[in-house]
Amino acid sequence: MSNSVISVISRFLEEYASSTPNKLKVIDAYLLYIMMTGALQFLYCLLVGTFPFNSFLSGFISCVGSFILAVCLRIQINPQNKGEFLSISPERAFADFLFAHTVLHLVVINFIG
């Protein structure tokens, strides 16, 4: 049982390393960073307490929002999805990504207190 899980995972990692373009790997590294930052914030909240609650929420929402926006960027940039995003060039996707981040950070900074 565990054997098959391990073999699935190792196969997945191999495929990932070989067939994913570099650009997407860069974004994936960024996604991993965001996720870890969010997880560590959540861990602090669990261990130490929710004071100040608004700061915790704004930090956590910032991580979640950034993660979502990065995922959207990854989907839109992926050449395999080109058929579904005919009108959106990668540059346009990146510009959207930057604009959405500006709005997100405005709200986050407002709420962080």
6 binds other proteins (CB under 8 A): no
Q: Where are the alpha helices (DSSP H) in 1-113?
A: 2-19, 22-48, 53-77, 90-112
Q: Which two tokens stand for residue 69?
A: 């926006």
**Stretch of 4-12, 69-77, 78-86, 89-97 lying at the interface with other proteins (CB under 8 A):** 89-97
Radius of gyration of the chain (CA): 18
User: Which positions lie near other proteins, rule CB under 8 A?
Assistant: 22, 25-26, 29-30, 32-33, 36-37, 40-41, 44, 48-49, 51-52, 89, 91-92, 94-95, 98-99, 102, 105-106, 109-110, 112
